[in-house]
Chain A
């Protein structure tokens, strides 16, 4: 089955600097890669996603890049702000005739230092 590895597990960044979280996946059939943000005491919330036919996607201060050859994808947050402090999860989805399987990474706790 699919295995998704996420690094680092914790990350501290000075406010205003950039943060990068990296994930690798094992199954080349994976074709959908979402990123979720989980604030303290809340459920995860989708912040950005990318499909395998796209190499990069941006939404204001966040961007995701995908390298299908190397089987890794990354989340980039620029000009970090205190409200970016949260746990971030990557995931990879394998299509399977209407029964696709979504596998999550183990999470990265991002702390923005004021």
Chain B
């Protein structure tokens, strides 16, 4: 039972380069999320997808785009990476947005932008 799987686990980019973080869940969850974690700032929501076919901005969406490819997969794209986007990124899923309950997190993707 894999749960939430993120790739890659580590990535180093140069300023201006683009990349996509991939996320997949095998729990048949409707809702998926992308968070970033920075020292002293907790977890901040970047984008979320309440259900297949919908995406919405979170607290810190600038510089990112997302795609809900299907019910299982939710990708995060950095079109032109900036040093301020150096962070650890977590994908998460939940049964359904709007119903308080457990978020299941992946193991994270550590991104460094030089």
Query: In the complex, how many residues of chain B place their beta carbon closer than 8 angstroms to a beta carbon of chain A?
Result: 20
Min Cβ gap B100→A in Å is 4
Neighbouring A residues of B107 by C-beta, 8 Å: 41-43
Residue in A32, A44, A45, A98 with the greatest tally of chain B CB atoms within 10 Å: A44
Of B38-46, B60-68, B75-83, the stretch lying at the interface with chain A is: B38-46
Known A31-B100, A41-B107, A100-B98; contact A107-B42, beta-carbon cutoff 8 A: yes
B42 touching A100 by the CB < 8 A rule?
no
| Chain A 64-110 residues near chain B, CB threshold 8 A | 89, 93, 95, 97-100, 102, 104-107
Whether, in the assembled complex, B4 has its beta carbon less than 8 Å from a beta carbon of chain A, the answer is yes
Contact with B along A33-60 (1 / 0, CB 8 A): 0101000011111100101000000000
Contact partner, A34, options B41, B50, B102, Cβ 8 Å: B102
A44 touching B90 by the CB < 8 A rule?
yes
Neighbouring A residues of B92 by C-beta, 8 Å: 43
Give residues in B with beta carbon < 8 Å to A: 4, 40-45, 50, 56, 90, 92, 97-98, 100, 102-103, 105-108
24 residue pairs A–B, Cβ–Cβ below 8 Å: A6-B42, A31-B100, A32-B100, A34-B100, A34-B103, A36-B103, A41-B107, A41-B108, A43-B90, A44-B103, A44-B105, A49-B100, A49-B102, A97-B98, A99-B50, A99-B56, A99-B97, A100-B97, A102-B103, A104-B42, A104-B44, A106-B41, A106-B42, A107-B42
